Amino acid sequence: MRLNDDFDEEFEDYDSYARHREQGSTFKMALVMVSFFVLLTLAIVLYVNQGKADAAAAGSANPYRQQNTGSASSNLDGLISGETRTADDLDFWHAYDHNGEPAATAAPTEAATPTPTEKPDPSTDGMHTLITYADGREEWAEINPYLARSRYDLSGLVYQKPFMQYYENNTKKSYVGVDISKDEDFVDFGQLKKAGVDFVMLRLGQRGYSTGELSLDENFLDNYARAREAELDIGVYFVTAAVTTEEAKEEADYCVQTISENEITLEYPLALSVMPLGEGRARTDALDKMPRTNVAMTFLKNVEDNGYFSLLYADKETLIKKYSLGSMIGYDVWYAGEGDLPDYPYQFVMWQYDLDGDVKGIAGGARLNVCFTDYKIR
């Protein structure tokens, strides 16, 4: 039945209309509630994202970032509750094996103690040479890598009593020598020649190691005359005690003048002996290495300027400890060192290997040498 003309014709009665209105209201209410929850969810998401941005900006200053570096939810848990552990921290299942028994824990290992670096053995490293001092002390001196090393194959050294010989490819490459002074008294140079001696080194003179005076060896002129008569090759040496370059030049001039005035001919060098002589304090003791080196080079240079071969005679200790060998490159060395093999690391041209040799022509011990250079063709 119709109440009036405004009543919707699709509803047959009032009850139907009322039910329709009630259903419409319920639908609207549901729509409102859904919208509310959607907005609430968006608000939470925005809040969480804002928290992550703030934490990133805070960096290491944020304690929760330092403790929780896992998922966003773990960070959020820390922010809300103050808890710093994550779900991974509460996972205790890995502590048990598959049978439910506690898993074995590896024993802590001790930190390996670093092994100290061992220093190379100087006796075998090839970079040191042993110096034995007169008082028995020993020192391993470092070998200068910039100096020419001895080039001789020591397996080629052969002792053919009473002399040392040197061979290369089964060919003799050495010459037998004896150095002589007034200390040998009378020498039979003819017997030396027959014994196989090739050359002699005669002491020409010396400077007093304490007085500084120059003097001629008492037997020099006689020794020279008889050695020449025996047709031996001859070289000479002078024992220095110079403390200045002026004195060194004076010594060289003295030798050259003596040779010239006595018409002496030399096949072997005019050598400078820097071996320490005598007991007590020598006038050269206070010289440092470079002044001592300059003194020696002054003598050697003056000798060569006058047309003679020069040679520096000394033992291992004197050469290495008292002279700057790097400054003396180009000057030949006459090495003094008793033994079966030469124990000098650098190049040398002559080696005095015995101070008490038994040779016919010399009463008592003879000072024996082997020379590796043929000065006649040099």
CA atoms within 13 A of residue 180's CA, in its CB half-sphere: 31
CA atoms within 13 A of residue 131's CA, in its CB half-sphere: 16
pLDDT of 327 above 90? yes
Give the model's confidence band at 144: pLDDT under 50 very low, under 70 low, under 90 confident, else very high.
very high
Average pLDDT over residues 192-201: 98
Check residue 111 and give its pLDDT: 55
Q: Assign residue 307 a region: left if phi > 0, alpha if psi is -120 to 50, beta otherwise?
A: left
Say if CB 233 and CB 199 are below 8 A apart.
yes
Average pLDDT over residues 285-313: 97
Say if CB 68 and CB 74 are below 8 A apart.
yes
What residues contact 324, with CB distance under 8 A and at least 6 apart? 289, 290, 293
Q: What is the pLDDT of residues 13-72, one digit of tens each?
A: 444 444 545 555 555 666 657 666 667 776 675 665 555 555 545 444 443 334 444 444
Q: What is the pLDDT of residues 343-368, one digit of tens each?
A: 999 999 999 999 999 999 999 899 99
Say if CB 375 and CB 269 are below 8 A apart.
yes
User: Rounded distance, CA 159 to CA 335, Å?
Assistant: 18
Say if CB 236 and CB 256 are below 8 A apart.
no
Average pLDDT over residues 91-114: 51
pLDDT of 306 above 90? yes
What residues contact 79, with CB distance under 8 A and at least 6 apart? 51, 64
Show the tokens assigned to 100: 């439910």
User: Rounded distance, CA 308 to CA 298, Å?
Assistant: 14
Say if CB 236 and CB 259 are below 8 A apart.
yes
User: Rounded distance, CA 27 to CA 34, Å?
Assistant: 11
More confident residue, 117 or 187: 187
Model's pTM, two decimal places? Answer: 0.69
Give the model's confidence band at 112: pLDDT under 50 very low, under 70 low, under 90 confident, else very high.
low
Q: What is the pLDDT of residues 221-269, one digit of tens each?
A: 999 999 999 999 999 999 999 999 999 999 999 999 999 999 999 999 9
Secondary structure of the chain as H, E, C letters? CCCCCCCCCCCCCHHHHHHHHHHHHHHHHHHHHHHHHHHHHHHHHHHHHHHHHHHHHHHHHCHHHHHCCCCHHHHHHHHHHCCCCCHHHHCCHHHECCCCCECCCCCCCCCCCCCCCCCCCCCCCCCEEEEECCCCCEEEEECCCCCCECCCCHHHEEEECCEEEEEECCEECCEEEEEECHHHCCECHHHHHHHCCCEEEEEEEEECCCCCCEEECCCHHHHHHHHHHCCCEEEEEEECCCCCHHHHHHHHHHHHHHHHHCCCCCCCCEEEECCCCCCCCCCCCCCCHHHHHHHHHHHHHHHHHCCCCEEEEEEHHHHHHHCCHHHHCCCCEEEECCCCCCCCCECCCEEEEEEEECCCCECCCEEEEEECCCCCCC
